[in-house]
Amino acid sequence: MTDRPDPRSRPVPAGRFARARGMGGLATGLAGGVALGGAQALMRGERPRLSQLVMTPANITRIADRLSEMRGAAMKLGQLLSMEAGDMLPPEMELILARLRSEAHVMPPKQLKQVLQDAYGAEFRQLFRSFDTRPLAAASIGQVHRALTPEGQALAVKLQYPGVKGAIDSDLDNAAALIRWSGLWPPELDLRPLMAEARAQLHEEADYAREGAALARFGTLLADDALFIVPSLDATRTRDAALAMCFEPSEPIEVLARAEPGLRDAAVTGLLDLTLRELFDFRLMQTDPNFANYRWRPDTRQVVLLDFGATREISQEVSDGYRGLLRAGLDGDRDATYAALERIGFIKQGLGEAHRQTILDMAEMGFALLRGPQPFDFRDSDFTDRMRRRGMEIGGERELWHLPPAETLFLQRKIGGLYLLATRLGAKVDLAALARRFV
């Protein structure tokens, strides 16, 4: 192992006490700032709201830095809130959550060595010919390193941050209390379902045996698909806090934006087709659409699929519900579309006629893409801007505020993420032909 300094290095607080102290210190610092800011405002004859006192530029930086430093549940909760309720959150909170999506510290070499020793034992060096201390990637639960076995096999090894798994519940409780105290979370939105889902997802993602099994399942499901590569699991070097797999050399999926149009279009079509197969055929979906989970191998013209920690089983009921929604949308049947949206829990029951039509108009904007006679050009479409404007209008109608069930949220996140990827790559896809295959 060679110690190479990484400017992103910062130790992860490992024990529950240390993590609770980190959140408590953040809350204390914010409270002190609020008290000082409130006193100064009163002296000026002002009566600011609590959220105005909390969300100063200095406090925004302080919150984002501390959650990023702690990683684990606090950071994941921020990411989930951003994805599931971002359109309804004030800009100050969205700024914090956007930083959590883009920033991640990494473990310094000394802590990394301790994690390796805890995972593999004191003789861990015998399992590897070399181990790069600078990670290939870092996220909320762990970070990934390149390594070589004594036989020369290249590996990617995901190491879980110390203390993260055991502190999931307390981290979430502390983070939620801070969010509620700040006054930035809209009272019309019940935070509890998102908390419960974040709790379940984090415990699943921290279970590397579960992720290894999902990796193997997708490897089997896609073994005969020439477009996709799924890394093979190295079971001999996988532990409770370490997940080892073969390293698949590849480049960021964004390089396809510069590829020839036919190649780019085929890759994006394949990814969208895979999502529909996950929903309707496999009923097993990798629900995290982070661009980093897709890589491109130029020499073989294949997509490498990574990170199966967020893999979820899809119930027959939900799969059938989405098939009915897709069929109704393709047929342009507004009544059937509305009934299907209610069935999957995407909208709440009992909306008035005006709000019903608002929802259907927005749904029609999406389904119109699936009925076009020509391939849809993601590069030149103004669809995203139109949907964002309509979403902001709906966000202003508090009667329409609703958090769908977890399964629906994760499906929507995956679909929305792939739409953004297709737009980034500038692909053209025959969406109508693709959708018709599954109804």
Residue-level pLDDT at 95: 56
Assess if residue 74 is contained within a domain: yes
Instruction: Please report whether residue 230 resides in a domain.
Output: no
Full residue range of the structural domain in which residue 270 is found: 251-439
Q: Are residues 259 and 196 in the same domain?
A: no
pLDDT of residue 422: 93
At residue 310, what is the residue type? A
* Residue 169 shares a structural domain with residue 258: no
> Is residue 158 a contact partner of residue 166, using CB atoms and an 8 Å limit?
no
Residue 84 lies inside a defined structural domain of this protein: yes
CA distance 135 to 304: 18
Query: Which pLDDT does position 304 carry in this prediction?
Result: 98
Q: Are residues 50 and 188 in the same domain?
A: yes
Q: Of 149, 178, 205, which one is at a domain's C-terminal end?
A: 205
275 and 199 share one domain: no
Same domain membership, residue 305 and residue 170: no
Among 205, 237, 267, residue at a domain's last position: 205
pTM for this prediction: 0.77
Same domain, 338 and 189: no
| 271 located within any domain | yes
Does 1 map to a domain?
Answer: no
Asked whether residue 432 falls in the same domain as residue 285, the answer is: yes
Catalytic-labelled residue, pool 118, 171, 234, 288: 288
Q: Would you state the pLDDT for residue 20?
A: 52
Q: Is 331 a catalytic residue?
A: no
Exposure string of 412-431, with b = 16+ CB inside 10 Å and e = fewer, is: bbbbebbbebbbbbbbbbeb
CB atoms near residue 183 (< 10 Å): 16
Specify whether 183 is located in the same domain as 315: no
From first to last of its 439 residues, the chain has per-residue pLDDT tens of 555 556 556 666 655 555 555 444 444 444 444 444 433 443 444 444 444 434 455 555 556 565 655 555 656 655 555 544 444 445 555 555 555 555 566 888 899 999 999 999 999 999 999 999 999 988 778 899 999 999 999 999 999 988 888 878 877 777 777 666 655 566 656 667 767 877 888 888 899 999 999 999 999 999 999 999 999 999 999 999 999 999 999 999 999 999 999 999 999 999 999 999 999 999 999 998 888 899 999 999 999 999 999 899 999 999 999 999 999 999 999 999 989 988 888 776 766 677 677 778 888 888 888 887 889 998 877 776 666 665 555 555 555 555 567 777 788 888 888 988 999 899 999 999 999 999 8
Q: What does the block give as tokens for 354?
A: 């005006």
CA atoms of 157 and 324, how far apart (whole Å): 41
Q: Which of 205, 222, 238 is the last residue of a domain?
A: 205
309 and 176 together in one domain: no
Backbone angle region of 162, left / alpha / beta, with phi > 0 → left and psi within -120 to 50 → alpha:
beta
pLDDT on residue 179:
65
Is residue 148 assigned to a domain? no
Shared domain for 191 and 315, answered yes or no, is: no
Supply the pLDDT for residue 43. 41
Structural domain total, the chain: 2
Does any domain span residue 261?
Answer: yes
> How crowded is the C-beta side of 352, counted as CA atoms within 13 Å?
6
Residue 224 lies in a domain: no
Q: Are residues 289 and 170 in the same domain?
A: no
Token pair in block for residue 42: 């009163």
Sheet harboring 228-229: ordered strands across? 228-229, 302-305, 294-297, 251-252
DSSP 70: H
Q: Are both 288 and 402 inside the same structural domain?
A: yes
Query: Exposed, middle or buried by CB within 10 Å (0-12, 13-18, 19+), for 408?
Result: middle
